[in-house]
DNA sequence: CGGGATCCCATTTGATACTG
DNA sequence: CAGTATCAAATGGGATCCCG
């Protein structure tokens, strides 16, 4: 009964807090510049370290290495070592990563829309300079 | 005709790249720890600076100030000064922010699901310690 | 209340070189 | 190829003080 609306800030405040927490939890594990992009890069199948690095422009080997470890710890990615000759190592998404599909798809869709908007000169954003 | 699949890495590589770029564009403007959370905090109406700060646990005044400016520049938020006495300042989402709904909702939903999973002890994640 | 300015530390990152 | 080691540089972010 913590939140009765006797006249406090707003009745929906509690709901908003729970949303903020949920978003915080999500961002904790998949936030940051690279995480989602790595998952996207792996989304059409196994890939090797250098393949991933080439796919994601701007990421360094060190950062990629660290992020892959984190993603593995959190159950999004598995690392497999194939001992056939020559030895190769491949990263692959786990089924748990699939639960991110709605997030990733909506993000990509929004990104495409946003790019269109920027290219039509809507706001004064120097944003996409580098990408263009 | 850049990508004919004469035998390259994979035929869907080009598509994957465009997804990665779209995601990159999106993350460029709404990435980071705070952006989306601020938008969520404003999603049920105008709010004042200190209200927002209280809603988002862990954010400092300086960071909030900077993020709000960025969000304003990029067209997600408007800052309104009410000159009635006493003067008050309120932040409000623009209609453009509404286009983020699918992203935000899927993120929140995933976050809730993820939390459940963590609390059942699935992976060895020390992740949510602080939130709990 | 709504911030801006400053200081200062900690973490992140980039670049480069190196290794099994 | 798949990373690791190391150092320098950039960035982030807290603390504090201040102002209108």
Run of H or E residues at B93? strand B88-93
The pLDDT value given to residue A14: 85
**B25 and A103 in contact by Cβ < 8 A?**
no
Q: Which residue is nearest to nucleotide D5 (CA to C1')?
A: A62
A76-88 residues labelled b (16+ CB within 10 A) or e (exposed): bbeeeeeeeeeee
The pLDDT value given to residue B124: 54
Q: Which residue has the tokens 């009964």?
A: A1
Nearest in space to A42 (alpha carbons), one of A57, A53, A29, A27 = A53
The pLDDT value given to residue A113: 96
The pLDDT value given to residue A124: 52
Neighbouring CB atoms inside 10 A of B48's CB total: 12
Q: Count of alpha carbons within 13 Å of B125, Cβ hemisphere only?
A: 24
Question: Cα separation of A92 and B75, whole Å?
Answer: 37
Read off the pLDDT band of A121 (50, 70, 90): confident
Domains and CATH numbers, chain A: 33-131 (1.10.10.10)
The pLDDT value given to residue B13: 80
Tell me the pLDDT tens digit for each residue of A68-107.
Answer: 999 999 999 999 999 988 899 999 999 999 999 999 999 9
Tell me the pLDDT tens digit for each residue of B38-97.
Answer: 999 999 999 999 999 999 999 999 999 999 999 999 999 999 999 887 899 999 999 999
**Residue among B16, B29, B112 minimizing CB distance to A55:** B16
The pLDDT value given to residue B1: 47
Q: Which of B20, B53, B90 to mutate to test the interface with A (most CBs of A within 10 A)?
A: B20
Tell me the pLDDT tens digit for each residue of A1-54.
Answer: 444 433 445 556 788 999 999 999 999 999 999 999 999 999 999 999 999 999
Nearest in space to A44 (alpha carbons), one of A55, A34, A29 = A55
The pLDDT value given to residue A11: 56
Read off the pLDDT band of A123 (50, 70, 90): low
Asked if B24 reaches chain A (Cβ–Cβ under 8 Å), the answer is yes
The pLDDT value given to residue B29: 93
Tell me the pLDDT tens digit for each residue of B88-125.
Answer: 999 999 999 999 999 999 999 999 999 999 998 875 54
């Amino acid at each position: 009964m913590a939140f009765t609306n006797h006249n406090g800030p707003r009745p929906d405040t509690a709901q908003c807090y729970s949303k903020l927490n949920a978003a915080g939890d999500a961002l904790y594990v998949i936030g940051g510049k690279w995480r989602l992009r790595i998952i996207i890069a792996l989304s059409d199948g196994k890939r090797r370290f250098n393949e991933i690095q080439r796919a994601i422009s701007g990421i360094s080997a060190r950062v990629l290495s660290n992020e892959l470890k984190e993603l593995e710890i959190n159950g999004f990615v598995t690392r497999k070592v194939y001992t056939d000759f020559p030895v190769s190592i491949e990263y692959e998404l786990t089924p748990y990563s699939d639960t991110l599909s709605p997030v990733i798809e909506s993000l990509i869709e929004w990104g495409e829309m946003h790019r269109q908007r920027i290219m039509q000169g809507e706001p004064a954003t120097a944003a996409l300079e580098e990408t263009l």
